[in-house]
């Protein structure tokens, strides 16, 4: 154990199965929120959709009450990067909306986020579509590195390499916020950087569960927190996107706990076949 580093919680297969239950409930609840995210709907209404979905499935929220956080999801719009608080704000066509949520079953946590553009393809600025698509694919590249790599640092390298290789205007990878271990708490060791660093980090090994969550911006990397003490915005007001999945490394391989197919569809083109928990 490196000096000063909190120790990592390695899970048994049975524990990861419970995290998977939490992940599937979360996947369904986020799906319901995105289906409801139309022009004219408020972010508070989306929070109610999510809360009802967790309740119906018998799960609880890890966001609600987290350091006093007042919602069950974060709804971050446009220049808001993460931690936007749901409320009376009304969605408009063309808004970039990131929804981040979590669910807990029997004390085991899941955490996942998706970005959507309100109003569908006809309402999209192509630069916003590109932002969300590159952010999402960078997340899948990071997830694939959990199967093909050796160290947690390989995840950030894969994300960084993919973003850097995109033609056209360079998107920024936020450094102020990072992914994390997850298990009996939402945020645990280790940190998962979304960029290349000289620290290779801990070894990827069975029992490790990580939330992989790149946050990309169309402008500069500087962020600020609004007076509500939560909402993180880019200081240049450039738009941001955020995608996140919770992923398990187990004896047989990796499995995306917060995707119904374990990540199979998006990992196949990357040469990775997720393996169900034994």
Q: What is the DSSP letter of 63?
A: S
- What is the contact mask toward ligand MF3 in residues 198 to 217, using x (rule: CB under 6 A)? -------------x-x----
Please pick, from the candidates 27, 128, 154, 244, the single residue that binds ligand MF3 as defined by CB under 6 A: 244
The helix-helix angle for 153-164 and 126-148 (nearest 10°) equals: 150
Shortest separation between residue 138's beta carbon and ligand MF3, angstroms: 15
Q: Which is nearer to ligand MF3, 104 or 124 (CB)?
A: 104
- The whole-angstrom separation of Cα 32 and Cα 275 is 26
Output the CA–CA distances (angstroms, integers) from residue 30 to 36, 56, 111, 118, in the order listed: 10, 14, 10, 15
Q: Which is nearer to ligand MF3, 124 or 213 (CB)?
A: 213
Residues of this chain, 243-272, that bind Co ion according to CB under 5 A? none
- Look at residue 69 and give the partner it binds from ligand MF3, Co ion, none, a contact being a CB closer than 5 to 8 Å depending on partner kind: ligand MF3
- Look at residue 83 and give the partner it binds from Co ion, ligand MF3, none, a contact being a CB closer than 5 to 8 Å depending on partner kind: ligand MF3
Under rule CB under 5 A, residue 111 binds Co ion = yes
Q: What is the DSSP letter of 171?
A: P
Q: What angle do CA 161, 215, 24 make, to 5 degrees?
A: 105
- Look at residue 74 and give the partner it binds from ligand MF3, Co ion, none, a contact being a CB closer than 5 to 8 Å depending on partner kind: ligand MF3
Shortest separation between residue 67's beta carbon and Co ion, angstroms: 14
Q: Where are the beta strands (DSSP E) in the chain?
A: 73-77, 80-82, 96-105, 108-117, 172-173, 179-181, 188-192, 209-212, 215-217, 223-225, 232-234, 240-242, 245-250, 253-256
Under rule CB under 5 A, residue 152 binds Co ion = no
Q: Which is nearer to Co ion, 95 or 111 (CB)?
A: 111
């Amino acid at each position: 154990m490196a000096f000063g580093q909190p120790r990592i919680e390695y899970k048994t297969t049975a524990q990861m199965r419970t995290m998977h239950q939490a992940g599937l409930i979360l996947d369904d609840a986020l799906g319901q929120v995105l289906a409801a995210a139309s022009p004219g709907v408020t972010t508070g209404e989306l929070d109610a959709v999510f809360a009802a979905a967790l309740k119906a499935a018998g799960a609880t929220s890890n966001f609600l009450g987290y350091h006093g956080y007042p919602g069950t999801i974060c709804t971050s719009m446009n220049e808001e990067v993460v931690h936007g608080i749901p409320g009376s704000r009304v969605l408009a066509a063309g808004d970039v909306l990131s929804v981040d949520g979590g669910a807990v079953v029997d004390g085991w946590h899941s955490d996942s986020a998706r970005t959507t553009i309100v109003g569908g393809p006809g309402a999209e600025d192509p630069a916003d579509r590109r932002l969300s698509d590159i952010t999402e694919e960078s997340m899948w590249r990071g997830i694939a590195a959990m199967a093909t790599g050796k160290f947690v640092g390989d995840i950030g390298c894969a994300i960084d390499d993919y973003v850097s290789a995109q033609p056209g205007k360079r998107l920024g990878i936020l450094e102020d916020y990072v992914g994390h271990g997850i298990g009996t708490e939402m945020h645990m060791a280790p940190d998962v950087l979304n960029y290349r660093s000289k620290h290779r980090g801990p070894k990827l090994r069975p029992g490790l569960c990580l939330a992989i969550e790149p946050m990309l911006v169309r402008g500069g990397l500087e962020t600020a927190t609004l007076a509500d003490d939560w909402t993180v915005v880019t200081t240049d007001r450039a738009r941001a996107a955020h995608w996140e999945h919770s992923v398990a490394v187990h004896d047989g391989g990796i499995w995306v706990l917060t995707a119904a197919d374990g990540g199979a569809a998006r990992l196949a083109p990357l040469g990775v076949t997720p393996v169900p928990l034994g």
